[in-house]
Amino acid sequence: MSDAVSSEQLATCMSRGHLLAEARDFHAARAEYLKIVDELHAPAEWRSLAQMCVAQCNTRIGDYRGAKAAYEQVKAIEGGPAHHAKEADERIREIERLRAGLPARDPQASRVQFSQRPAPSVTLHVAVDGDDTNPGTKDSPFATIERARDDIRALKAKGPLSDGGVTVLIGDGEYKVADTFHRTH
């Protein structure tokens, strides 16, 4: 490239690199991207982007050491976009996972972590073969959902429930409801 490098020249070189990468000729693609990286008159954002592409080519051919080094160089390009440096950090973590024989991305990292719910202070059981005169335990369950509701109301009348509240475990089966079932907080 000449001293007066134009954005058209950079775009052409980048496009050639992309076409070669798409054709899975990663060595040739890397050579095209390196023309931009080595062009000192190219704007930092172009050099940074081209260096990212070099790193991706290295990753695709399994050269994780070279990929990591290329991503480190992205972070060192003065005036390069901050998001390139951030992405380089993310890709370096992925490379470390790949080198350890793990998937590139940790499936748990993007999952929402729910806070742990406190354990219930009371657990009531309902079963079709239960009896509403029972205490509502696992071995002696209630027969109806209404009976569990009434037991909860009695507990609340004695004072506030603990943070865990009450859990009602309803066993398999069909439960007949004689009246409209209305539950309030």
Domain edges within the chain:
7-99, 114-185
Query: What's the whole-model pTM score?
Result: 0.57
What local confidence, expressed as pLDDT, does residue 181 receive? 66
Contact status, residue 50 vs residue 37, Cβ threshold 8 Å: yes
Amino acid (one-letter) located at 39? E
Lowest mean pLDDT among 6-10, 78-82, 181-185: 181-185
Q: What are the tens digits of pLDDT across the range 2-51?
A: 445 788 999 999 999 999 999 999 999 999 999 999 998 899 999 999 99
Q: What is the percentage of the chain residues whose pLDDT exceeds 70? A: 95
Give the integer Cα–Cα distance in Å for 15 and 185. 63
Q: Enter the CATH code of domain 7-99.
A: 1.25.40.10
Structure token pair of residue 61: 């051919």
- Residues sharing a CB contact under 8 Å with residue 113, sequence separation 6 or more, in sequence order: none
Contact status, residue 1 vs residue 11, Cβ threshold 8 Å: no
What local confidence, expressed as pLDDT, does residue 2 receive? 47
Q: What are the tens digits of pLDDT across the range 124-181?
A: 999 999 999 999 999 999 999 999 999 999 999 999 888 889 999 999 999 887 777 6
Give the integer Cα–Cα distance in Å for 61 and 17. 15
Q: What are the tens digits of pLDDT across the range 54-78?
A: 999 999 998 999 999 999 999 999 9
Q: Sorting pLDDT into bands at 50, 70 and 90, what band is 104? A: confident
